[in-house]
């Protein structure tokens, strides 16, 4: 079993939200949805969706599940391109 170093934790904390955000942008654009429309669909405001997409906030797993459902994709699909 390998320990995760503090440096690795910091790197993951910086990179993963950006990768997840990029995936949300990809699938939102694929469905031709605006940030405002996606925000309406998931019960959040557009600014919050913007912050998620830019990796400025880290949404909880429930919020990510709701976003995935609104985008008609699975969580595994949302995370498929996210590398750790």
Q: What is the pTM of this model?
A: 0.91
Distance CA 33, CA 51 (A): 16
pLDDT-derived band of residue 2, with 50, 70 and 90 as boundaries?
confident
Domain covering 6-78 assigned CATH 1.10.260.40 in the classification: yes
pLDDT in tens, 17-46: 999 999 999 999 999 999 999 999 999 999
Q: Give the integer Cα–Cα distance in Å for 12 and 17.
A: 8
Q: Taking residues 8-24, what's their average pLDDT?
A: 95
**Domain extents for the chain?**
6-78
CB 70 within 8 A of CB 38: yes
What pLDDT is recorded for position 20?
97
How many angstroms separate the CA atoms of 20 and 81, rounded? 8
Residue 15: pLDDT band (50, 70, 90) is: very high
Count other C-beta atoms under 10 Å from residue 84's C-beta.
10
For residue 83, give the 3-state DSSP assignment. coil
């Amino acid at each position: 079993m390998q320990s995760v170093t503090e440096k690795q934790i910091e790197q993951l904390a910086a990179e993963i939200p950006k990768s997840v955000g990029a995936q949300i942008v990809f699938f939102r654009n694929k469905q031709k949805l605006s940030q405002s429309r996606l925000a309406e669909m998931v019960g959040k405001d557009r600014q919050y969706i913007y912050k998620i997409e830019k990796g400025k906030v880290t949404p909880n797993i429930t919020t990510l599940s709701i976003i995935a459902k609104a985008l008609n994709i699975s969580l595994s699909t949302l995370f498929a391109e996210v590398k750790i």
